[in-house]
Structure 1
């Protein structure tokens, strides 16, 4: 495996990144047609934190963090480092020293489809991380990889410059050319949810607001008083016992 470090890739407009940052991962995922989630393996090491930024991508060999060192130079203000491995890995490839260097450069957080360590220190310094594992297992710096190339996490392609949004619910990627539309669609969805929230606070039911009673009827679901239901169940049990 040879490697390449790509410099100066195109990035989503900062204005669109900040617009997306106003919304949660679930909202953006739904607004984009239920796409973009990077799977369920990635979990936050902190709580009540949301970050958005442009991806600087890294492809490493498992158990080798050489290319993360190379990627630091390519990171800047408003970026999020996104690390994938060429095969499954849970080794602790990232820790407090990397975070110190990245925070100095204005990087907003890390998404890594592998392991992370020094989690207490990372939380204390306010550097957000979403990782597939937490492990004290160390790594080597011996094999080449690539920086700022497309990587795949959770079945989704992340390209350098795409928008990464992460919160307690997980991580979503927004293709850089769709960032403006994703922000607009997310705002529309948020307004729709606000109207539903107001209706629920007034006591309305989702069954009525969303027209779901007709859906249940069409699917053959019926409403029965308890006594009638209990009698029919008893009759069915008697018939079964007699067969």
Structure 2
């Protein structure tokens, strides 16, 4: 599917005004092999622990986007090269990390869209702590399970329903 987040915003100003279309702050950098991706959100809340990230990416992605509320932590990475390959293999459209990634050269080879705050060389801890399929706060923007994520070179959008 081809789309432009700018066109989606222009065509849906009434949805933006009503909060049915939200724009994430421009703080996310692109790391994956795909510059554009979209799909329904699967939400996950973790903090400096990526055990559940692997568990979810091991499922069939079916074109969905994993939205990880990592609390905005920049003290370790939640997604690395192996998880990028796993996401591609299992059919995930993208991963949005409110936190960090690592193995950026490997992530760039994975045919999946990946957005994160920054790169960090340290891996996360493994405590098996997290919550999935709940409303999460991504840099002040609420994202609910099943809402549509649209990401391209100009930004990341969250929509209550499919818009393209």
Matched with 1:54 is 40
Corresponding residue for 2:73? 89
Contact 1:115/1:134 (8 A) holds in 2 = yes
1:112-123 mapped onto 2 (5 Å cutoff)? 112-123=97-108
Answer yes or no: is the 8 Å Cα contact 1:47–1:168 preserved in 2.
no
1:37 is aligned to 2:37: no
Distance 1:150 1:75 in 2: 21
Which has the higher Rg, Structure 1 or Structure 2? Answer: 1
Alpha-carbon shift at residue 143 of structure 1 (Å): 4.9
- Give 1:128 deviation, angstroms: 2.1
Aligned length in residues: 157
- State the alpha-carbon separation in 1 of the partners of residues 63 and 103 from structure 2: 23
* Structure having the larger proportion of residues in helix: 1
Q: 1:88 to 1:124 in 2, by over 3 A?
A: closer
Which residue, out of 132, 154, 167, partners 2:152?
Answer: 167
**CA distance, structure 1, for counterparts of residue 60 and residue 136 of structure 2:** 17
SS in 2 for 1:121: helix
CA drift at 1:48: 7.4
Match of 1:139 in 2: 124
What is the TM-score of this pair, normalised by structure 2? 0.85
Larger strand fraction of residues: 2
C-alpha distance in structure 2 between counterparts of 1:29 and 1:152, whole Å: 21
Deviation beyond 3 Å, 4+ runs, structure 1: none
Q: What TM-score results when the alignment is normalised by the length of structure 1?
A: 0.59
Give the superposition deviation at 1:22: 2.9
Contact residue 59 and residue 147 of structure 1 kept, 8 A = yes
**1:161 Cα deviation from its structure 2 partner:** 1.2
For structure 1, the residue ranges without an aligned partner over 5 or more in a row are 1-20, 184-243
Q: Please report how far the alpha carbon of residue 153 of structure 1 lies from its aligned counterpart in structure 2 after TM superposition.
A: 1.0
Name the structure 2 match of 1:24. Answer: 4
- Could you say if the C-alpha distance between residues 149 and 75 of structure 1 is closer, same or farther in structure 2, counting changes exceeding 3 Å? farther
Gaps of 5+ in 2: none
